[in-house]
Amino acid sequence: MSMFEMSEEELELENIYNRDWAEGEENPTNYVSENGFTEWIVCPECSKNQEAWVSLVDINDVREHECEQCNYLITADEWIYDSDE
């Protein structure tokens, strides 16, 4: 696969991103690759807005992020989307 060709997974994620962006979603995905994508979230401990990586493992998304400011481990059940980004 050349540098400019997308895998099937990357193409599907890119289509999701473009659909969300076109529909005016408040939090469209920011970066997409075959391994995952980024989302803007808010730390439930210190309220810092930050970009978090969501890993794709098989068919599941893994949402776990260490806060850049307070080092709090944000898990999927605490995932708060940043509506400003």
Q: Is the pLDDT of residue 56 over 70?
A: yes
Task: Provide mean pLDDT across the span 58-73.
Answer: 86
Task: Provide mean pLDDT across the span 42-65.
Answer: 85
| pTM greater than 0.75 (yes/no) | no
- Position 1 in a domain: no
- Position 70 in a domain: yes
Q: Is the pLDDT of residue 18 over 70?
A: no
Pick from 15-29, 30-44, 55-69: least confident: 15-29
- Position 38 in a domain: yes
Q: β-strand 49-57 against 36-42: which pairing, if any? A: antiparallel
User: How many helices, marked H, and strands, marked E, lie in the chain?
Assistant: 1, 6
- Position 72 in a domain: yes
- Give DSSP secondary structure letters for 47-62: --EEEEEEEEETTEEE
What's the structural domain count of the chain? Answer: 1
- Domain containing residue 67: 8-81
- Position 55 in a domain: yes
- Position 3 in a domain: no
- Position 50 in a domain: yes
